């Protein structure tokens, strides 16, 4: 996920104060590799405590393994994290793959394997070509040879671990019809049965049209909008979403309360999962705001902070 420019109207919630204009600059931590200096911890709990926010491993446990790889899913499992977040895009020949950036340069060796193919966009490579890439060496030698997984491989690994998936449709404007492709794969892999849809799957996006498309295709699937809509606009999103998932620096307790006052597309209270929180100070801050979930590269750090 990347930060978007947002303006949140909180006048009615803060006693007539002027609307709050929120920062739009992308945080460096969300553009670069997560901090890997602290050792991983193993724990079984997936929440901070009774009634605390749910822990969601951002791109898998991406502080311990290369993001969006099967190794990151495995690391989340070892840490006892039940919910895993990922990013889905589409190859030139129509395969759905799990990768964050719209190009392959940052997290693979594509520049060495295909030096004449700049700017190395995902959509310009076939699935077979992407399978040739090393998606782990950039993170560390222990992960040399890791591959960019397909969505099928990814959901099957999560199924093996009995985990849950918060899936982001990444850059849907680049991939017309990707929503239908995602629904097809999820159906084929058994992820659209009652048990998965009810409690193990959420589809999110920064794109409102993409979420509306998912809601039209599968009205039973839980969806989440990535961003911080103005309070006055929240009812419009609630018509087809179940979650509002903002960047943590763009919210406060009043905003979370405003979201919680509304019911989403399935008649339940809108939830708030905030991202990307990797330190103790902000973990405690957003818990105080009343968020429902914390998306983090460092589940070990956040969990330890919220247990104090």
Decide if pLDDT at 241 tops 80: yes
**pLDDT exceeds 90 at position 256:** yes
The candidate with the shortest Cα–Cα distance to 243, out of 217, 205, 209, 282, is: 205
50 CB-near residues (< 8 Å, 6+ apart):
none
Mean predicted confidence (pLDDT) in 166-187: 98
The structure tokens listed for 251 are: 């919210």
276 versus 19: which is more confidently predicted?
276
What is the pLDDT, as a whole number, of residue 167? 98
Average of per-residue pLDDT across 51-71: 95
pLDDT at 147 over 70: yes
**pLDDT above 70 (res 20):** no
Cβ partners under 8 Å of residue 136, min gap 6: 66, 69, 71, 143, 144, 145, 146
| Interval 125-154 mean pLDDT | 98
Would you state the pLDDT for residue 71?
A: 98
58 given a catalytic annotation = yes
The pLDDT confidence band at residue 6, using thresholds 50, 70 and 90, is: very low
Q: If pLDDT is split at 50, 70 and 90, which confidence band does 52 have?
A: confident
- What pLDDT score does 51 carry? 65
Q: How confident is the model at residue 27 (pLDDT cuts 50, 70, 90)?
A: very low
Question: What average pLDDT does the structure give for the chain?
Answer: 88
Closest CA to 225 of 265, 184, 173: 265
Does residue 42 have a pLDDT over 70?
no
Residue 215 is a catalytic residue = no
Each residue of 218-233: pLDDT tens digit? 999 999 999 999 999 9
Three-class DSSP labels, the chain? CCCCCCEECCHHHCCCCCCEECCCCCCHHHCCCCCCCCCCCCCCCCECCCCCCEEEECCCCCCCCCCCCHHHHHHHHHCCCCEEEEEEEECCCCCEEECCCCECCCCCCHHHHCCCCCCCEHHHCCHHHHHCCCCCCCCCHHHCCCCCCEHHHHHHHHHHHCCEEEEEECCHHHCCCHHHHHHHHHHHCCCCCHHHHHHCEEEEECCHHHHHHHHHHCCCCEEEEECCCCHHHHHHHHCCCCEEECEHHHCCHHHHHHHHCCECCCCCECEEEEECCCCHHHHHHHHHHCCCEEEECCHHHHHHHHCC
Instruction: Give residue 43's pLDDT band: very low, low, confident or very high (50, 70, 90).
Output: very low
Q: 45 or 99: whose pLDDT is higher?
A: 99
- From the CB of residue 12, how many other CB atoms can be counted at a distance below 10 Å? 13
User: Of residues 58, 196, 215, 248, which has the active-site annotation?
Assistant: 58
Under the banding of pLDDT at 50, 70 and 90, the label for residue 36 is very low
308 pLDDT band, cuts 50/70/90, is: confident
Vertex 71: Cα angle to 68 and 73 (nearest 5): 65
Q: pLDDT tens across 191-213, in order?
A: 999 999 999 999 999 999 999 99
Task: State the catalytic residue, choosing from 100, 196, 215, 248.
Answer: 100
Region 47-76: what's the mean pLDDT?
89
């Amino acid at each position: 996920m990347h930060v978007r420019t947002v303006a949140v109207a909180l006048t009615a919630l803060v006693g007539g104060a002027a609307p709050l204009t929120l920062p739009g600059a992308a945080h460096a931590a969300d553009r670069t590799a997560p901090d890997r200096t602290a050792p991983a911890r193993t724990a079984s709990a997936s929440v901070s405590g009774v009634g605390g926010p749910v822990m969601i491993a951002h791109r898998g446990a991406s502080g311990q393994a290369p993001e969006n790889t099967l190794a990151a899913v495995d690391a989340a499992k070892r840490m006892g994290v039940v919910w895993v977040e990922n990013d889905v895009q589409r190859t030139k020949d129509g395969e759905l793959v799990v990768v964050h950036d719209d190009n392959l340069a940052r997290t693979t060796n594509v520049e060495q394997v295909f030096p004449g193919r700049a700017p190395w966009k995902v959509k310009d490579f076939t699935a077979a070509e992407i399978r040739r890439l090393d998606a782990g060496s950039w993170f560390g030698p222990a992960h040399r040879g890791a591959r960019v997984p397909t969505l099928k491989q990814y959901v099957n690994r999560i199924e093996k671990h009995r985990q849950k998936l918060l899936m982001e449709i990444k850059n849907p404007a680049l991939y017309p019809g990707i929503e239908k492709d995602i629904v097809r794969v999820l159906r084929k892999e058994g992820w659209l049965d009652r048990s998965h849809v009810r409690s193990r799957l959420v589809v999110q996006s920064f794109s409102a049209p993409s979420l509306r498309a998912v809601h039209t295709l599968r009205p039973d699937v839980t969806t989440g909008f990535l961003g911080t809509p103005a309070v006055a606009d929240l009812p419009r999103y609630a018509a087809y979403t179940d979650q509002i998932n903002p960047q943590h620096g763009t919210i406060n307790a009043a905003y979370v309360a405003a979201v919680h006052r509304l019911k989403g597309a399935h008649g339940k209270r809108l939830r708030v999962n905030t991202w990307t929180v990797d330190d103790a100070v902000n973990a405690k801050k957003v818990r105080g705001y009343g968020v429902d979930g914390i998306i983090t590269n460092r589940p070990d750090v956040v969990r330890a902070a919220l247990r104090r």
